[in-house]
Chain A
Amino acid sequence: MGIIVNGTDVALPDDPRVSLLDLLRERLRLSGTKKGCDQGACGACTVLVDGQRILSCLALAVQYEGRSVTTIEGLGDEGALHPLQQAFIEHDGFQCGYCTPGQICSAVGMIEELRRGVPSHVTADLAATAIPHSRDELRERMSGNLCRCGAHNGIMDAIAETYGAETHAEAAE
């Protein structure tokens, strides 16, 4: 058994040292997923494994045998953008774009966690099963994705609009 990447079965690397990130970028030529730090600190390499967001730079590809990996290439393409991709364009959610695929994959995983009721550092009531889609919650939950260009406000607006939270402008009113 190999790894399923965006719906296609892919062979595992022979060398167990190959990270999931390098498998995607160097072997499969899926260069949407980015290598920022290669040490878990930036989030640029975020992908979804069975719907959960993880860092592909700290993952050995062999660990993910039989699992289903979704990268930015699997979320949308030029003819049919993912709603978040469209929202990032509309809200200036990027400048250089290097962090963007990681931001978008992360946000897709994030919203599932929020809907499931996973608490965050800013969740006031741990006993609550429904957690508000507030800006503070979204910001904290996206804090594993850094943006060197400082596009955070646009990123937050794109995510907030797509997932029905208040936007920056509304919060400021």
Chain B
Amino acid sequence: MTPFSYVRAADADAAVRHSGVDAKYLGGGTNLVDLMRETIERPGTLVDVTGLSAEITETDGGGLLIGAAVRNTALAEHGLVRRRYPMLARAIVAGASPQIRNMATVAGNILQRTRCAYFYDRAGSRCNKREPGQGCDAIDGFNRMHAILGASPACVATHPSDMCVALAALDATVHLSGADGERRLPFADLHRLPGDEPDRDTVLQPGDLITAVELPPLPIAARSTYRKVRDRSSYAFALVSVAAALSVENGTVTDVRLALGGVAHKPWRASKAEQALCGQPATEATFRAAAAAELAAAEPLRDNAFKVELAQRTMVAVLGELAEVEVLGGGA
């Protein structure tokens, strides 16, 4: 690890004041400390922001305001999250391990970096995310875990978070504090596609602090879930995951929220599938067609073509479960 100095910020204003050119905010440290040990991140100052709000409060309209320092376990455990946004609780407990979830903060989870093995291999691999312009060893390498949607010739990495897939589906808003004061950003606009700047995971500027995440009131989310497909049944990153909320009236889909994980550089809101579902009969045929519409643009790599079908089947299975419709020979 490169030497650094450590300060603890009592609140958001102090945190922003402490942040300088080579400073980084520190949440639970479960991603940042690891990356510093690998000398992939080399901040000169760590500003500990676990003293920021760790509260979950109900907003006027019946949404939730989640402080940036809320631990992942505390969010998954919260009664209102479990009842009103079950997909979020399910997504969180599908991620990492209990010990890590006890440490990890909401903001840190959102800003965790990719698990691309070439990104981690500073000594032996080329990576445009780590060293812009260097090249990408994943594109023609072992890319089973990599992106099938929205990638670029510069980077094919995926965003590893489970929680973020639910936040994308739930139309969350991120509260920020930075050099120019406070602002809000739709969660969907926070993470970027790699384009030709894969070193930038998000649209945030240096020094931007996440202070909270807001969930809108969303009655449809009370009937929602999260399904994660991975190489072992626990403690593994997603190959593909699906967050979904569905409302069906008289056999017709009236509203839906759908997002995918493990497929792109950002949590992937499946807007095309949502459009293809609304107003249609809640049948396997509809679910299949919607999933196919979303994946039509998929560009698989050497090792991950399986994800294209896997993502579709998982979407169909999850929609079948929520609609209580028999799919794929027994998904419901």
A residues lining the B interface (CB < 8 Å): 15-17, 19, 38-40, 43, 46, 52-55, 58-60, 62-63, 106, 109-110, 113, 116-121, 123, 126-127, 140-141, 143-145
Contacts and interface: CB of A to CB of B under 8 A. Distances in A.
Interface stretch (B88-96, B252-260, B272-280): B88-96
B306 interface: no
Contacts of A40: 30, 34, 96, 100
Interface string B1-44: 10111100000000000000000001011100110010000000
Contacts of B37: 38-39
B234 A54 contact: no
A109 B99 CA distance: 9
A107 to B, nearest CB: 11
5 contacts: A63-B48, A106-B98, A109-B99, A118-B73, A143-B234
Given A43-B99, A55-B99, 12 more contacts: A17-B3, A19-B33, A39-B37, A46-B99, A60-B6, A113-B73, A113-B98, A118-B73, A119-B76, A119-B93, A121-B93, A143-B234
Interface string B72-111: 0100110000110010011001101111101100000000
B143 interface: no
Contact of A16 (B4, B50, B99, B103): B4
A22 to B, nearest CB: 11
A39 B90 CA distance: 25
B89 A126 contact: yes
B103 A58 contact: yes
A17 B1 contact: yes
A48 to B, nearest CB: 10
B46 interface: yes
Given A58-B30, A60-B33, A144-B97, A127 B83 contact: yes
Nearest to B74: A118
Contact of A144 (B4, B48, B89, B235): B235
Given A60-B29, A143-B97, A143-B234, A54 B103 contact: yes
Interface in B124-181: none
Contacts of B26: 60, 63
A43 B76 CA distance: 21
For the complex of A and B, 5 pairs with smallest distance between CB atoms: A144-B97, A143-B234, A16-B6, A126-B82, A118-B77
A19 B37 CA distance: 10
Contacts of A60: 6, 26, 29, 33, 46
Given A58-B29, A60-B29, A106 B234 contact: no
Nearest to B1: A17
A62 B6 contact: yes
B5 A16 contact: yes
Contact of B103 (A38, A55, A117, A143): A55
Contacts of A143: 97, 233-235
B100 A144 contact: yes
A60 B34 CA distance: 11
B46 A16 contact: yes
A123 B226 CA distance: 13
Given A58-B30, A63-B29, A118-B73, A127 B82 contact: yes
A19 B29 CA distance: 11
A121 B94 contact: yes
A43 B3 contact: no
Given A17-B3, A127-B82, A118 B76 contact: yes
A53 to B, nearest CB: 5
Interface string B205-231: 000000000000000000000000000
